[in-house]
Structure 1
Amino acid sequence: MPHVYMLECADGTLYVGSTIDLERRLAQHAAGEGAAYTRRRLPVTLRWHAEFARIEDAFQWEKRLQGWSHAKRLAFAAGGLDAVRGWSARERREGKG
Protein backbone atom coordinates (compact mmCIF):
# COMPACT_ATOMS: atom_id res chain seq x y z
CA MET A 1 0.00 0.00 0.00
CA PRO A 2 1.19 3.55 -0.68
CA HIS A 3 2.44 5.55 2.29
CA VAL A 4 3.60 9.06 3.05
CA TYR A 5 6.12 9.33 5.84
CA MET A 6 8.02 11.95 7.80
CA LEU A 7 11.47 11.28 9.21
CA GLU A 8 13.31 13.30 11.80
CA CYS A 9 17.00 13.45 11.00
CA ALA A 10 19.86 13.54 13.51
CA ASP A 11 20.25 17.30 12.93
CA GLY A 12 16.58 17.92 13.79
CA THR A 13 15.44 18.55 10.23
CA LEU A 14 12.45 16.72 8.76
CA TYR A 15 12.32 14.67 5.57
CA VAL A 16 9.03 13.79 3.84
CA GLY A 17 8.74 10.99 1.30
CA SER A 18 6.32 8.50 -0.21
CA THR A 19 6.66 4.82 -1.02
CA ILE A 20 4.68 1.69 -1.76
CA ASP A 21 6.70 -0.36 0.76
CA LEU A 22 7.22 1.56 4.00
CA GLU A 23 9.26 -1.06 5.86
CA ARG A 24 11.70 -1.50 2.97
CA ARG A 25 12.06 2.25 2.49
CA LEU A 26 12.70 2.88 6.19
CA ALA A 27 15.37 0.16 6.15
CA GLN A 28 16.98 1.83 3.14
CA HIS A 29 17.07 5.18 4.91
CA ALA A 30 18.52 3.61 8.08
CA ALA A 31 21.23 1.87 6.06
CA GLY A 32 22.23 5.10 4.31
CA GLU A 33 20.74 3.91 1.02
CA GLY A 34 17.82 6.34 1.00
CA ALA A 35 17.73 9.88 -0.29
CA ALA A 36 20.96 11.87 -0.34
CA TYR A 37 19.37 14.28 2.15
CA THR A 38 18.88 11.62 4.82
CA ARG A 39 22.17 9.88 4.00
CA ARG A 40 24.03 12.96 5.27
CA ARG A 41 21.86 13.24 8.39
CA LEU A 42 21.77 9.77 9.95
CA PRO A 43 20.33 8.37 12.07
CA VAL A 44 16.72 9.05 11.17
CA THR A 45 13.56 8.34 13.16
CA LEU A 46 10.06 7.80 11.81
CA ARG A 47 8.01 10.73 13.08
CA TRP A 48 4.70 10.16 11.23
CA HIS A 49 3.20 8.08 8.43
CA ALA A 50 -0.13 7.48 6.75
CA GLU A 51 -1.41 4.84 4.36
CA PHE A 52 -3.36 5.68 1.22
CA ALA A 53 -5.44 3.66 -1.22
CA ARG A 54 -3.81 5.24 -4.28
CA ILE A 55 -0.18 6.21 -4.95
CA GLU A 56 -1.43 9.45 -6.51
CA ASP A 57 -3.00 10.47 -3.20
CA ALA A 58 0.17 9.63 -1.27
CA PHE A 59 2.29 11.63 -3.71
CA GLN A 60 -0.09 14.60 -3.46
CA TRP A 61 0.20 14.57 0.36
CA GLU A 62 3.98 14.23 0.12
CA LYS A 63 4.19 17.39 -1.97
CA ARG A 64 1.75 19.21 0.32
CA LEU A 65 3.78 18.40 3.43
CA GLN A 66 7.04 19.31 1.72
CA GLY A 67 5.70 22.81 1.21
CA TRP A 68 5.04 23.32 4.92
CA SER A 69 7.35 24.91 7.45
CA HIS A 70 9.25 22.83 9.98
CA ALA A 71 6.95 24.01 12.78
CA LYS A 72 3.80 23.18 10.82
CA ARG A 73 5.12 19.69 9.99
CA LEU A 74 5.88 19.03 13.66
CA ALA A 75 2.43 20.23 14.72
CA PHE A 76 0.80 18.06 12.07
CA ALA A 77 2.81 14.98 13.10
CA ALA A 78 1.75 15.50 16.70
CA GLY A 79 -1.89 16.45 16.23
CA GLY A 80 -3.06 15.86 12.67
CA LEU A 81 -4.98 18.33 10.55
CA ASP A 82 -6.77 19.89 13.52
CA ALA A 83 -3.38 20.99 14.88
CA VAL A 84 -2.56 22.99 11.73
CA ARG A 85 -5.90 24.57 10.89
CA GLY A 86 -5.39 28.27 10.33
CA TRP A 87 -1.67 28.00 9.51
CA SER A 88 -2.02 28.94 5.85
CA ALA A 89 -1.37 32.54 4.87
CA ARG A 90 -4.65 32.63 2.92
CA GLU A 91 -6.70 31.54 5.92
CA ARG A 92 -4.94 34.11 8.14
CA ARG A 93 -5.65 36.90 5.60
CA GLU A 94 -9.31 35.90 5.40
CA GLY A 95 -9.61 35.74 9.19
CA LYS A 96 -10.35 32.02 9.30
CA GLY A 97 -7.48 31.02 11.55
Structure 2
Amino acid sequence: MPHFVYMLRCAGNRIYTGYAVDVEARFEQHKSGKGAKFTKAFPPECILRKFELPSYEQALRLEARIKKLAREQKELLAGGDDAIAAELLAGLNETLEEKSARERKERRAVKTCNKTAKTCDEKAKTCDKTVKTCEKKLRDKRKRLKESVQDA
Protein backbone atom coordinates (compact mmCIF):
# COMPACT_ATOMS: atom_id res chain seq x y z
CA MET A 1 0.00 0.00 0.00
CA PRO A 2 1.48 3.37 -0.97
CA HIS A 3 1.92 6.16 1.55
CA PHE A 4 1.82 9.84 0.66
CA VAL A 5 3.22 13.11 1.92
CA TYR A 6 1.29 16.06 0.54
CA MET A 7 1.56 19.83 0.52
CA LEU A 8 -1.51 22.08 0.56
CA ARG A 9 -1.92 25.76 -0.24
CA CYS A 10 -4.00 27.22 2.57
CA ALA A 11 -5.63 30.56 3.33
CA GLY A 12 -3.19 33.41 3.83
CA ASN A 13 -0.83 31.86 1.26
CA ARG A 14 0.34 29.34 3.85
CA ILE A 15 1.61 25.83 3.15
CA TYR A 16 0.53 22.78 5.11
CA THR A 17 2.40 19.47 4.91
CA GLY A 18 0.84 16.18 5.98
CA TYR A 19 0.75 12.40 5.65
CA ALA A 20 -2.07 10.27 4.24
CA VAL A 21 -2.79 6.99 2.51
CA ASP A 22 -5.54 8.67 0.44
CA VAL A 23 -4.59 12.29 -0.25
CA GLU A 24 -7.85 13.31 -1.92
CA ALA A 25 -9.95 11.97 0.98
CA ARG A 26 -7.66 13.68 3.49
CA PHE A 27 -7.90 16.93 1.51
CA GLU A 28 -11.71 16.72 1.74
CA GLN A 29 -11.41 16.19 5.51
CA HIS A 30 -9.26 19.30 5.77
CA LYS A 31 -11.74 21.29 3.65
CA SER A 32 -14.65 20.19 5.84
CA GLY A 33 -12.84 21.35 8.98
CA LYS A 34 -12.28 17.82 10.30
CA GLY A 35 -8.56 17.75 9.55
CA ALA A 36 -5.68 19.27 11.49
CA LYS A 37 -5.97 22.32 13.74
CA PHE A 38 -3.84 24.27 11.25
CA THR A 39 -6.27 23.67 8.38
CA LYS A 40 -9.20 24.62 10.60
CA ALA A 41 -7.54 28.00 11.17
CA PHE A 42 -6.28 28.31 7.57
CA PRO A 43 -8.64 26.39 5.26
CA PRO A 44 -6.94 24.55 2.39
CA GLU A 45 -7.36 25.82 -1.15
CA CYS A 46 -5.58 23.20 -3.27
CA ILE A 47 -3.12 20.31 -3.29
CA LEU A 48 0.27 21.68 -4.36
CA ARG A 49 2.31 18.50 -4.50
CA LYS A 50 2.32 14.93 -3.28
CA PHE A 51 5.06 12.34 -2.89
CA GLU A 52 4.38 8.60 -3.01
CA LEU A 53 6.54 6.46 -0.73
CA PRO A 54 6.66 2.69 -0.22
CA SER A 55 6.57 2.70 3.59
CA TYR A 56 4.93 4.52 6.46
CA GLU A 57 8.33 5.17 8.09
CA GLN A 58 9.75 6.79 4.94
CA ALA A 59 6.65 8.95 4.57
CA LEU A 60 6.91 10.21 8.14
CA ARG A 61 10.63 10.94 7.70
CA LEU A 62 9.94 12.93 4.53
CA GLU A 63 7.09 14.83 6.20
CA ALA A 64 9.41 15.76 9.08
CA ARG A 65 12.14 16.89 6.67
CA ILE A 66 9.72 19.08 4.71
CA LYS A 67 8.34 20.65 7.89
CA LYS A 68 11.89 21.68 8.87
CA LEU A 69 12.45 23.58 5.60
CA ALA A 70 12.41 27.37 5.42
CA ARG A 71 9.35 28.87 3.78
CA GLU A 72 11.26 29.76 0.60
CA GLN A 73 12.42 26.15 0.21
CA LYS A 74 8.87 24.88 0.78
CA GLU A 75 7.63 27.22 -1.94
CA LEU A 76 10.28 25.94 -4.36
CA LEU A 77 9.49 22.32 -3.48
CA ALA A 78 5.75 22.88 -3.86
CA GLY A 79 6.42 24.53 -7.22
CA GLY A 80 8.15 21.40 -8.50
CA ASP A 81 11.84 21.97 -7.66
CA ASP A 82 13.22 18.46 -8.18
CA ALA A 83 16.67 19.32 -6.80
CA ILE A 84 15.20 20.00 -3.36
CA ALA A 85 12.97 16.92 -3.68
CA ALA A 86 15.95 14.71 -4.54
CA GLU A 87 17.90 16.06 -1.57
CA LEU A 88 14.97 15.39 0.78
CA LEU A 89 14.34 11.91 -0.59
CA ALA A 90 18.02 10.91 -0.32
CA GLY A 91 18.64 8.60 2.58
CA LEU A 92 14.99 7.78 3.28
CA ASN A 93 15.67 4.12 2.49
CA GLU A 94 18.45 3.99 5.06
CA THR A 95 17.82 1.21 7.58
CA LEU A 96 18.44 1.72 11.28
CA GLU A 97 21.57 -0.44 11.00
CA GLU A 98 22.87 1.66 8.10
CA LYS A 99 22.08 4.85 9.98
CA SER A 100 23.91 3.59 13.08
CA ALA A 101 26.92 2.54 10.99
CA ARG A 102 26.99 5.94 9.23
CA GLU A 103 26.74 7.79 12.56
CA ARG A 104 29.55 5.65 14.07
CA LYS A 105 31.72 6.41 11.06
CA GLU A 106 30.97 10.14 11.40
CA ARG A 107 31.81 10.06 15.14
CA ARG A 108 35.12 8.28 14.41
CA ALA A 109 35.95 10.88 11.77
CA VAL A 110 35.22 13.71 14.21
CA LYS A 111 37.30 12.00 16.91
CA THR A 112 40.22 11.60 14.47
CA CYS A 113 39.87 15.22 13.42
CA ASN A 114 39.87 16.35 17.06
CA LYS A 115 43.02 14.29 17.77
CA THR A 116 44.71 15.83 14.74
CA ALA A 117 43.74 19.32 15.90
CA LYS A 118 45.06 18.57 19.39
CA THR A 119 48.36 17.34 17.92
CA CYS A 120 48.60 20.49 15.81
CA ASP A 121 47.92 22.64 18.89
CA GLU A 122 50.68 20.83 20.80
CA LYS A 123 53.11 21.30 17.90
CA ALA A 124 52.20 24.98 17.70
CA LYS A 125 52.88 25.39 21.44
CA THR A 126 56.26 23.67 21.04
CA CYS A 127 57.00 25.89 18.07
CA ASP A 128 56.01 28.99 20.06
CA LYS A 129 58.34 27.93 22.90
CA THR A 130 61.18 27.42 20.42
CA VAL A 131 60.60 30.86 18.89
CA LYS A 132 60.52 32.47 22.35
CA THR A 133 63.75 30.68 23.30
CA CYS A 134 65.42 31.83 20.08
CA GLU A 135 64.23 35.40 20.63
CA LYS A 136 65.57 35.34 24.20
CA LYS A 137 68.96 33.98 23.05
CA LEU A 138 69.11 36.65 20.35
CA ARG A 139 68.34 39.42 22.88
CA ASP A 140 71.01 38.05 25.23
CA LYS A 141 73.55 37.86 22.41
CA ARG A 142 72.78 41.46 21.35
CA LYS A 143 73.07 42.58 24.97
CA ARG A 144 76.48 40.87 25.37
CA LEU A 145 77.66 42.29 22.05
CA LYS A 146 76.54 45.78 23.08
CA GLU A 147 78.33 45.40 26.44
CA SER A 148 81.53 44.19 24.76
CA VAL A 149 81.45 47.16 22.37
CA GLN A 150 81.01 49.56 25.30
CA ASP A 151 83.90 47.91 27.22
CA ALA A 152 86.27 48.28 24.29
TM tier, shorter chain?
0.7 to 0.9
What's the counterpart of residue 36 of structure 2? Answer: 35
2:68 paired residue number: 67
When you count strand as a share of all residues, which structure comes out higher? 1
Q: Percent identity?
A: 29
* Counterpart in the other structure of 1:81: 82
Using structure 1 for the length normalisation, give the TM-score. 0.79
Structure 1: unaligned runs, 5 residues or longer:
87-97
What 5-or-longer segments of structure 2 have no aligned partner? 88-152
Q: Residues 18 and 59 of structure 1 are in contact (CA less than 8 Å); yes or no, is this contact kept in structure 2?
A: yes
Task: Pick the structure with greater CA Rg.
Answer: 2
- Alignment match, 2:47: 46
User: 1:78, CA displacement in angstroms?
Assistant: 1.7
Give the TM-score, by structure 2 length.
0.52
2:96 corresponds to which residue?
Answer: none
How far apart are 1:80 and its partner, in Å?
Answer: 2.9
Pairwise CA RMSD? 1.9
The answer as to whether partners of 1:9 and 1:42 remain within 8 angstroms in 2 is yes
**Segments ≥4 residues shifted beyond 6 Å:** none
Alpha-carbon displacement from aligned partner over 1:3-58 (angstroms, at most 9, x marks no partner): 00001111111110011121211110111111010111114311110111111111
CA 1:69–1:58: 2 relative to 1, 3 Å: same
- What is the SS of the residue equivalent to 2:54? coil
Higher helix share: 2
